Amino acid sequence: MPDKQSDGAVSTLLISACPGPSVCAAVHTYLFVDGLDLVARSDSSMAGLGPRWLLRPGGPLYPADMPRMVDVAAEEQPDPGPGRLTIRVQLRGETVIWSSLMYPGLDGRAIDEVRFRLGQYLGEVERAYAALKDRL
C-alpha cells in the first residue's frame, strides 16, 4: 500500500521523536508514513524539526482548508543548516493531504502525495504531543 498514495489510497501516520541529548544534539521528530521515515527517505542529511514546534495544538501540522507550506526538517549539522524539507498540508473534507513530497516508496517509485483520514491523523498528532510534552 505505501506506493499507492497518488491514486487516492489512504495512508497511516505514526509520529515519534529522538530523545535529544545524549543521543542527539536536540530532540527531533520522526514522521512515518505507512511505515516509511518521510524525512530520512526524502533527504538523509536532514532531521525532523522539534516536536514542540511541529506538534503543538494548532501548530503547523494541524490541517486547515487553505493549503500551507510547512517546514518539517532541516539539515542536520552541529546546528540546523539553511536547507529545509517542506511539505504542503491541506484539509479537504475529512481528508488531510500532504503534497509537494518526493521520496521513494518501497518499490522505488516516487511518492509525491499522501492522504490521511482526519480522525487518525489528528489522533496521532495529539497522541505524539501528549507522549512527548514531558520531554519538551
Mean pLDDT of 97-110: 93
- Give pLDDT tens digits for 32-67: 999 999 999 999 888 898 888 899 999 999 999 999
Number of domains in the chain: 1
Q: Regarding beta strands 110-117 and 10-11, do their DSSP bridges make them parallel or antiparallel, or are they unpaired?
A: parallel
Which pTM value belongs to this model? 0.84
Rg of the chain (C-alpha set): 14
Q: What is the mean pLDDT of residues 18-22?
A: 64
What does the buried/exposed string (b/e) look like for 74-97 if buried means 16 or more CB atoms within 10 Å of the residue's CB? bebeeebeeebbebebebeeeebb
The residue count of the chain comes to 136
Alpha carbons 38 and 85: distance in angstroms, whole number: 10
Q: Which domain holds residue 120?
A: 2-132
The stretch 107-115 carries a mean pLDDT of 94
Residue spans of alpha helices (H) in the chain: 38-42, 51-54, 118-132
DSSP 3-state of 58: coil
The set of residues, in sequence order, having a beta carbon less than 8 Å from that of 130 and lying 6+ positions away, is: none
Q: Could you tell me whether strands 46-48 and 36-37 are parallel, antiparallel, or unpaired per DSSP bridges?
A: unpaired
Q: State percent of the chain over pLDDT 90.
A: 60
Q: Which pLDDT belongs to residue 11?
A: 94
Work out the average pLDDT over 128-135.
80
